[in-house]
Structure 1
Amino acid sequence: MPSFEIPDGPATVALKKEGAFHKGSAVFGVTNKTGEGLTARVSVQIQGDGKAEWYQVQGDPERLVAAGESQTVTVVAKIPAATPPGQHRIKLRAINVNDPDNDSTDSAAATVTVPAIVPAKPATKKPFPWWIIAVAAGVLVLVIGVIIAVVVMSGGSKAPNVVGQPYEEAVKLLDKAGYKTVKRIAKETGEKPPETVLDQTPAAETKAKKTETVLLTVAAPIPVVAPDEPKEEPPIEEPAEANCDPTVGACIEGFVWRSAGPNDRVCVTPESRYLASLENSQASARRNPNGGPYGPDTCLMGYVWRDGFPNDHVCVSGERRTVVAQENAAGPSRYRACRPKVIIPRPTRPKITLPAG
């Protein structure tokens, strides 16, 4: 009794043309009916006009099948497309490798049909699409027409001369000529009336595209700055002479007040004034600290009172006292009158009236 059985298998094998071959596959089920694991060798058996090289078992032809186990075996068909149409059959055979001569089994036969090759229909030659050339020619003519129109409309005219025209009139003339974009710049001048066009870019009568911006230089009035209103200027004041005593006057040139005391206004030389200041600083050192017949102002031996003015008890030498007396005597001849405060009125600037307009 065979150890294997092949209960499952296809009745037919479907083929599909792929390139130069008809290809297909068939799946069979192989079952070990024994109670022990066996090695099965599977192969394809050909019946009819088929060839063994057209079929191949996928995977290892020899495989271990456990006790009671079922395994699938796939047979791949690869038949040349040039094979004449017809039918043949194949079977799958399973052999127990331990007893190959006596223990084998075959599946039921599966029919393989090789189809006839249907010749491909010859390609029908399509007529040349002349309409495409006609459409392309029409489009080309249209494009050329548009280009010519653009050139004629935008680049072939001359800009009109608007120099000397009022600005508003110049804009109208340019608009009429097809120049829609106009910009202006102002230039202050007194040579032309305000709003007169002084210059234009592009220049007059030069070829310019109508899409180009026309720049106009327009006269603008020179602003008149009104002068300031005249103001009453304060008079010029020259202050009264400094170091001048109104009761006696000022010293003539080369002399200064002696200032030996707060009200000493005797005019002396600068050297004498310096000596008087030095004598004042040494006054206490030249007095007798013990006093004397003239009280605390008694001078030391060799010094006498200066007597430059009443109660001038500064101790000086006898020679210096003589000089001071001479200065007092010469005082009136060394005076001059004080220079008074002077007020000089400023001239009034006349008001300027600008002409109207």
Structure 2
Amino acid sequence: MPAAFTVTTATNTVTLGSDRHGEATFVVTNVSGRPMQGRALLEWQPRATDRASWAAVQGEAERVFPIAGTQQYTVKFTLPPTASEGQHILRLDMQDVSLPDDVVQGQSVTLQVAPPVPRGKFPWWVLAVAAVVLLGGVGAFLLLGRDATVQNVAGLSLEKARAVITGAGLTVADPLKTENDEAVPQSVVIRSEPGEGSKLKKGSAVTLVLSNGPSRHPMNFVGKDGTDVLKELVQWGLKPENILLSKRWSTNNEPVGTVLSTTPPQGQEVTRNDTVTLAISRGQCQSTVLIFCLKDPIVRPYLDLQRSGTTLKEMIRQP
């Protein structure tokens, strides 16, 4: 009766490592000309029942084979330390499940078993070294791990500087400090106190010094929109009570709300303690009566407009 299966392997010899583990792959093909149910059997040569645990088929040993179908079997080897060194031979056979007596002998593999690696004495000094390193690390953490380093925040906005300080494990002191600075724009951080690189305990407070901008501001407002000029002066730090407003008819068709003149005059500089007067355009006078086109003598503090909620354009429209 012709064989129902062919069994081949690409590896005739398997060398096991010091752990005595390894594997081999067998390819089984149905050559019976009919669908079959096949079962893989492992046979040691010479036959030995005490080696059953040395090898095992991965996955199901019993599988379906269509006509000319192929299955791949992987066999894992796990030899005990008591297994003798040298060669051990294993063969994978295939059994027709419907005809249990029909067993096809397959190809064999030879296991090369090296002698087990002798166990030396455990180097207890390794534990001693590890203990010293561990204790040193714990000590360093206790001494240094609680410290935080002040990072550089110069040139950052207040929001970003806060994020940098808190990200380093520190807090931002309240209130902030402010200073005039000719080079650093207003509301930008000049420096921190203590400065960059300082070591502090985590959770310590760091003071941020913000720039008020230059201590003097140029009077360069003629021709600009009055609302924008007011905003610029207040943001720079000039108090609203130190800003005075007057209305004037335009002589050169300047749009309503445009700054026509200033006191101090254009080109000079003022400090935050000075008083600034802005003459705002009412537009072109349409009256033919000269008296109605004269300069408005009334000067209004900008603070009064703020308190009453009156806008600059509303003030201009008032008689």
Q: TM-score range by the shorter chain?
A: 0.3 to 0.5
Larger Rg belongs to? 1
Length-normalised TM-score, structure 2: 0.36
- The structure where strand makes up a greater share of residues is 2
